Amino acid sequence: MTPETIAPWVSLALSLIALVGIIYGWLTRGEKTVAAALDKHKEDAAEDARKTAAAMADMERRVLSLEGELRHLPDRNQAHNIELALEKLNGRIEVLATQLEPVSAIADRWQELILEQAKK
């Protein structure tokens, strides 16, 4: 084969390679847009993950704080015992109030007596 017979075939091959390159470029031109969108999505997802982790850490801190505050409060049995003690105390106060009524009446009569003696 002589170079003159090979030249048209080489030219045809190079033309085909160029044509394939153009078609490939035309078909994959949206690939850059997709890649950019994918990168943006990855960045957004990473930012969301950071925000979520920060929010979870804040929630965990708040829950621990609440647990600490609630730890010193009475439980159900202790609250019931407090209620019973208060009822008993209220009963004793009512009895004491009833017993103090005559003492109050005596104090009122003494005051009246003292005021009458002061007027004389």
Neighbouring residues of 82: CB distance < 8 A, sequence distance ≥ 6: 74
Indicate the helix (H) or strand (E) that contains 29: none
Q: What is residue 1's predicted lDDT score, i.e. its pLDDT?
A: 67
Give the pLDDT score at 13: 92
pLDDT at 66 over 90: yes
Mean model confidence pLDDT for the chain? 90
Enumerate residues 6+ apart whose C-beta is below 8 A from 74: 82
Q: Is-above-0.75 flag for pTM?
A: no
Q: What is the pLDDT of residues 16-36, one digit of tens each?
A: 999 999 888 878 777 778 888
Higher-scoring residue by pLDDT: 104, 1: 104
* Mean of pLDDT values over 69-87: 91
Contact 74, 82 (CB under 8 A): yes
* Domain locations along the chain: 1-73, 76-120
* Tens digits of residue pLDDT in 106-118: 999 999 999 888 8
With a cut of 70, say whether residue 102 has pLDDT above it. Answer: yes
What's the token pair of residue 17? 């390679």
